[in-house]
A and B are shown apart, each in its own frame.
Chain A
Amino acid sequence: MSEGIGARVLRKEDKRFITGSGKYTDDVRETNQCYAAFVRSPHAHAKIKGINKSPAEGMPGVEAVLDGKQLTGDGIGNIICGWMIHSKDGSPMKMGAWSALATETARYVGDAVAVVIADSLARARAAAEAVEVDYEILDAVITTEQALADGAPQLHPEAPGNLIYDWEIGDKEPTEKAIADAAYVCEMEITNNRVAPNPMEPRSAVATYSPSEDHYTLYTTSQNPHVARLVLSAFYQVAPEHKLRVIAPDVGGGFGAKIYIYPEEIVCLWASMKTRCSVKWTADRSEAFLTDAHGRDHVSKARMGFDKDNRIVGFQVDTIANLGAYMSLFSSSVPTYLYATLLSGQYDIANIHCNVRTAYTNTTPVDAYRGAGRPEACYLIERMMETAARDLGIDPAELRRKNFIREFPHQTPVIMAYDSGDFEANLEAAMKAADYAGFEKRRSESASQGKLRGIGMSCYIEACGIAPSAAVGSLGAGVGLWESAEVRVNPVGTIEILTGSHSHGQGHETTFPQLVSDRFGLPSDNVQIVHGDTDKVQFGMGTYGSRSGAVGMSAIVKALDKVEAKAKKIAAHMLEASEGDIVIEDGEVKVAGTDKKLGWHEVCLGAYTAHNLPEGMEPGLKEGAFYDPSNFTFPAGCYICEVEVDPETGTTRIVQFVASDDFGTIINPMIVEGQVHGGIAQGVGQALLEQAVYDESGQLLTGSYMDYAMPRADDLPSYMVSHETTICPGNPLGIKGCGEAGAIGSPPAVINAITNAIGNNALSMPATSAKVWQAINAANVKEAAE
């Protein structure tokens, strides 16, 4: 069976996970292991007037009780946001100071103010409870509306009016004019609900300082250990990079939440130096709800103008985004370059303008969550397209068709240059799979059972792979977004691939070796992936933004090109043939058109014995590469959701979910389908169930699975997933990326289906049973009145 590109190779990493031998951060136990318990603010906004540590200090097993003044006194730097956004007046974003342990003011419930290190977790927690913090409670702001109101309580002196930036993209005047002249304008106010990411493995850190070597080791639940090391070193001044090793071993899901470097990792490292103990902290789920960066939380007012032929002539959007109490690592980019640049959707729109304001509130920081900005754009556009079609009395599919971009490359008015795609093909495939034509019959069958049936679609596009370093640099990114790889061929011909990408569920240990199988015809078992350890891999930007395929694998391809070239030179020399005649296939190195050949392992051994190398060639067979993409990639597709709503309770059941995606080249369809399944489940979760809810005082009401509704097996259907492929011209493999699509495309499809079923477009996420029931009743009341 082929193990090359396109093969459904079963996962290598599964063996350890299905037998309980995975090694996650919390599984690490160092000698002299101590445990950290954080003292957290119970108030959303409070002045810290004093901290009395002494009741805790004398308790059994307590090594140290540490606070923010000690932390800053030791020169540990503030937590930074790594993407600079300038307001439209040219001023830089207003970043408030964020100390890993709050010194003067606590700004959200869960803000860490002190930490206890003790020899057992139970003792650490008991002592943390004994620390007395004297708070002066301040007025809190929870919503962006409150935050930006005149006279609102202020979070950060650096950000007057709690405004972080006021940014815009596109041309305002032509857009306004186009909409003013439009034959029909669809106008909506749309909220994208706040969600908690909830990877099943809670965040964890195990930090060990070695005084004899003056060296730190940090095991942590990270999607990007090298970025963590860079930031911990360069900005937080924990230790210089060469004295800090960061290891992200098996990581149990990320979804964005494990990109960032949080206070707890910083504090564990620092505390390990202070106490000379190895310090472990693992979030319990309640801590995760309070401290893992939340996602989304947008409110947008939008107007979309159509001409008399139902073509979109202008799209104007005014968005306010909630960034929480502090600016998390990439928070600033999410509601700007990862969102507004996608507002053209799959449609040819000449005029787009978007204004974005972001605000501080006394809530958990908000940052990228699976999709990051793109789901917000997609939800806005696709709900408006569906609503517009209903207003205009035409089939929603027809309205989309009429406006599709059909020629590539296509430059949108909001930066992005789409390189490829066939939106019609995805739409057709999805409509066929969903039996779109047969819907009315199914609707009447449901009606005869007393159920309301609805169908909704979503045609999404996203930008992945982030992205050309120079391009993102010009937009404010503090880092380059390339990826690195190293291919180490051993003397016996087996191969280690060192990658800067990080797998936390994506199956890199399986898919990356498929590139080698494809190239050299070697069994993928002969290839090992090395990742997630700054001591082993030189550098890497990590895994987020669906970039491991498009960027990470491209780096491997570049390194493989170099290995292949050198192997061919060696073989040509050994076989006394011309280099151009050498081919490598089926694990053999052959002279084309002859029976002269060597085993792959013989060439590799030759490289290392160096007995017979071409003149001047260095021994060995090991090559590295850095790959910097030339553009974003643009996965796109069409999702069609069909629901049945119980009008008596408002409960929605998804009876069918069809996905047709264009991901470019697919390395392993099994894994790609799994990514789509999981993405859809998260999108459906956001659409139907999930919301992080605060009360007026800033307490998180959904702080556990008792109140935060996670999608479970019986909330979800089986999915019908297929692909219509156009090759991405921007990278050597033609990959577009698949990690986030499901979460981007599915929410509007679900909501469009429900609003179709109940005949009321005024419905927000999450469309809980209670909310849908109310919307049905509101629609009934309206109908009765008319």
Chain B
Amino acid sequence: MASVSIKVNGKDVSGEVEDRTLLVEFIRENLRLTGTHVGCDTSQCGACVVHMDGKAIKSCSILAAQANGSEITTIEGLANGSELHPMQTAFKENHGLQCGFCTPGMIMAATDMVRRYKESGRELDETAIREELEGNICRCTGYHNIVKSIQDAASKM
């Protein structure tokens, strides 16, 4: 068994889990934060994306033990209290989601994307957004409104 202590969404949490427990299992099953989803088993769909120490990662492809000592932000921790993150607002206002299953991963990937581009001073145009979404699959929206949502939020972040 592995002892895992992680700061999740600003709160210190700890637990004893089997060493083989994936971070996403720890988040969903131990912490019961079920906003982070699992949509594939080959680390491609991106439904499980969370931030670890400020960077987007796939929580299905890392053990909880590997994340020990880190800070994790999940979709549940993105808003500031009742004030939604601009990316959340943009997804709503631009109809960037339908069934909602890929959405948490999309939003976490998108906020990371905008952060990286802002930090490096690069322009996040439509082509760049589409390339950057390589690790996130959506079956409902055809991506049109996801791209629009990210463009909209990028201008507000």
Asked if chains A and B are in direct contact (CB within 8 A), the reply is yes
User: In whole angstroms, how far apart are the Cα atoms of A563 and B104 in the complex?
Assistant: 39
User: In whole angstroms, how far apart are the Cα atoms of A506 and B29 in the complex?
Assistant: 29
CB of A199 within 8 A of CB of B76, answer no
CB of A705 within 8 A of CB of B44, answer yes
Give the contact stretch, choosing among B63-71, B88-96, B117-125: B88-96
Residue of A nearest to B145 (CB): A674
Candidate in B75, B95, B142 with the most chain A CB atoms within 10 angstroms:
B142
CB of B42 within 8 A of CB of A20, answer no
Give the contact stretch, choosing among A148-156, A247-255, A425-433, A444-452: A247-255
- Distance (Å) between the CB of B81 and the closest chain A CB? 11
User: In whole angstroms, how far apart are the Cα atoms of A26 and B29 in the complex?
Assistant: 10
User: In whole angstroms, how far apart are the Cα atoms of A742 and B44 in the complex?
Assistant: 25
A contact residues, total (Cβ < 8 Å): 57
User: In whole angstroms, how far apart are the Cα atoms of A718 and B147 in the complex?
Assistant: 9
The answer to whether the Cβ of B34 comes within 8 Å of any Cβ in the partner chain is yes
**Selected contact of A714 from candidates B18, B32, B34, B130, CB within 8 Å:** B130
User: In whole angstroms, how far apart are the Cα atoms of A21 and B129 in the complex?
Assistant: 26
Collect the chain A residues with CB atoms within 8 Å of residue B137's CB: 200, 705, 710, 712
Collect the chain B residues with CB atoms within 8 Å of residue A742's CB: 142
CB of B40 within 8 A of CB of A19, answer no
- Distance (Å) between the CB of B75 and the closest chain A CB? 3
Residue of A nearest to B39 (CB): A200
**Selected contact of A18 from candidates B37, B42, B91, CB within 8 Å:** B91
Candidate in B42, B129, B134 with the most chain A CB atoms within 10 angstroms:
B42
**Selected contact of B98 from candidates A15, A26, A284, A507, CB within 8 Å:** A507
CB of B138 within 8 A of CB of A200, answer yes
- Distance (Å) between the CB of B56 and the closest chain A CB? 15
User: In whole angstroms, how far apart are the Cα atoms of A674 and B93 in the complex?
Assistant: 13
**Selected contact of A19 from candidates B75, B95, B136, B139, CB within 8 Å:** B75
**Per-position contact with B for A20-57: 1 when CB-CB < 8 Å, else 0?**
11111011010000000000000000000000000000
The answer to whether the Cβ of A2 comes within 8 Å of any Cβ in the partner chain is no
CB of B99 within 8 A of CB of A201, answer yes
CB of A20 within 8 A of CB of B34, answer yes
Candidate in B35, B38, B139 with the most chain A CB atoms within 10 angstroms:
B139
Question: Chain B at the A interface: mostly helix, strand, loop or mixed?
Answer: loop
CB of A677 within 8 A of CB of B144, answer yes
- Distance (Å) between the CB of A111 and the closest chain B CB? 20
**Per-position contact with A for B11-36: 1 when CB-CB < 8 Å, else 0?**
00000001010000000110011111
Q: With A14-B97, A253-B101, A678-B141 given, is the CB distance from A21 to B133 under 8 Å?
A: no
**Per-position contact with B for A251-293: 1 when CB-CB < 8 Å, else 0?**
1110100000000000000000000000000001110000000
- Distance (Å) between the CB of A744 and the closest chain B CB? 14
User: In whole angstroms, how far apart are the Cα atoms of A671 and B94 in the complex?
Assistant: 10
CB of B98 within 8 A of CB of A678, answer yes
Q: With A250-B100, A253-B139 given, is the CB distance from A201 to B131 under 8 Å?
A: no
Q: With A285-B41, A504-B99, A682-B139 given, is the CB distance from A200 to B107 under 8 Å?
A: no
Collect the chain A residues with CB atoms within 8 Å of residue B20's CB: 122
Collect the chain A residues with CB atoms within 8 Å of residue B42's CB: 285, 704-706
Collect the chain B residues with CB atoms within 8 Å of residue A711's CB: 142
Residue of A nearest to B29 (CB): A29
Collect the chain A residues with CB atoms within 8 Å of residue B40's CB: 284-285, 704-705
The answer to whether the Cβ of A670 comes within 8 Å of any Cβ in the partner chain is yes
CB of B142 within 8 A of CB of A719, answer yes
CB of A670 within 8 A of CB of B95, answer yes
Q: With A13-B100, A20-B75 given, is the CB distance from A199 to B44 under 8 Å?
A: no
The answer to whether the Cβ of A10 comes within 8 Å of any Cβ in the partner chain is yes
The answer to whether the Cβ of B53 comes within 8 Å of any Cβ in the partner chain is no
Collect the chain B residues with CB atoms within 8 Å of residue A314's CB: none
Candidate in B76, B107, B137 with the most chain A CB atoms within 10 angstroms:
B137
CB of A252 within 8 A of CB of B104, answer no
Give residues 181-205 of A contacting B (CB, 8 Å): 198-202
CB of A200 within 8 A of CB of B144, answer no
**Selected contact of B44 from candidates A20, A26, A706, CB within 8 Å:** A706
**Selected contact of A713 from candidates B38, B45, B134, B139, CB within 8 Å:** B134
CB of B145 within 8 A of CB of A677, answer yes
CB of A253 within 8 A of CB of B104, answer no
Candidate in A504, A679, A713 with the most chain B CB atoms within 10 angstroms:
A713
**Selected contact of A505 from candidates B35, B78, B100, CB within 8 Å:** B100
Collect the chain B residues with CB atoms within 8 Å of residue A252's CB: 37, 99-102
CB of B140 within 8 A of CB of A678, answer yes
User: In whole angstroms, how far apart are the Cα atoms of A201 and B95 in the complex?
Assistant: 19
**Selected contact of B36 from candidates A20, A673, A719, CB within 8 Å:** A20
CB of A674 within 8 A of CB of B95, answer yes
User: In whole angstroms, how far apart are the Cα atoms of A19 and B84 in the complex?
Assistant: 8
The answer to whether the Cβ of A11 comes within 8 Å of any Cβ in the partner chain is yes
User: In whole angstroms, how far apart are the Cα atoms of A670 and B93 in the complex?
Assistant: 10
Collect the chain A residues with CB atoms within 8 Å of residue B95's CB: 10-11, 670-671, 673-674
Candidate in A18, A201, A716 with the most chain B CB atoms within 10 angstroms:
A18
Residue of B nearest to A710 (CB): B137
Collect the chain A residues with CB atoms within 8 Å of residue B34's CB: 20, 23-24, 26-27
User: In whole angstroms, how far apart are the Cα atoms of A681 and B140 in the complex?
Assistant: 8
- Distance (Å) between the CB of B131 and the closest chain A CB? 5
CB of A713 within 8 A of CB of B99, answer no
Collect the chain A residues with CB atoms within 8 Å of residue B144's CB: 674, 677, 716, 718-719
User: In whole angstroms, how far apart are the Cα atoms of A748 and B93 in the complex?
Assistant: 33
User: In whole angstroms, how far apart are the Cα atoms of A189 and B32 in the complex?
Assistant: 53
The answer to whether the Cβ of A17 comes within 8 Å of any Cβ in the partner chain is yes
Q: With A678-B140, A714-B134, A718-B144 given, is the CB distance from A200 to B99 under 8 Å?
A: yes
Collect the chain A residues with CB atoms within 8 Å of residue B98's CB: 253, 505-507, 674, 678
CB of B140 within 8 A of CB of A253, answer yes
User: In whole angstroms, how far apart are the Cα atoms of A27 and B32 in the complex?
Assistant: 8
The answer to whether the Cβ of A680 comes within 8 Å of any Cβ in the partner chain is yes
User: In whole angstroms, how far apart are the Cα atoms of A17 and B136 in the complex?
Assistant: 16
- Distance (Å) between the CB of B63 and the closest chain A CB? 13
Collect the chain B residues with CB atoms within 8 Å of residue A704's CB: 40-42
Q: With A505-B99, A705-B44 given, is the CB distance from A674 to B141 under 8 Å?
A: yes
- Distance (Å) between the CB of B141 and the closest chain A CB? 5
User: In whole angstroms, how far apart are the Cα atoms of A159 and B1 in the complex?
Assistant: 54
Q: With A18-B84, A19-B79, A200-B102 given, is the CB distance from A713 to B147 under 8 Å?
A: yes
CB of B140 within 8 A of CB of A20, answer no
CB of A713 within 8 A of CB of B101, answer no
**Selected contact of A712 from candidates B127, B133, B145, CB within 8 Å:** B133
Given A674-B145, A710-B137, 18 more contacts at CB 8 Å?
A14-B92, A14-B97, A17-B103, A18-B84, A250-B99, A285-B42, A671-B95, A674-B144, A677-B144, A682-B139, A706-B44, A712-B134, A712-B136, A712-B137, A713-B130, A713-B147, A714-B127, A718-B144
Can you offer 27 A-B residue contacts whose CB atoms are under 8 A? A14-B91, A18-B97, A18-B100, A19-B76, A20-B75, A27-B34, A29-B32, A200-B138, A200-B139, A284-B40, A285-B40, A285-B45, A286-B41, A505-B140, A671-B95, A674-B98, A674-B141, A677-B142, A678-B139, A682-B139, A704-B42, A713-B130, A713-B146, A714-B133, A718-B144, A719-B144, A742-B142
In order of increasing CB-CB distance, the 4 nearest A-B pairs are A20-B35, A252-B101, A17-B100, A681-B142
List residues of chain A with CB under 8 Å of any chain B CB. Answer: 10-11, 13-24, 26-27, 29, 122, 198-202, 250-253, 255, 284-286, 504-507, 670-671, 673-674, 677-682, 704-706, 710-714, 716, 718-719, 742
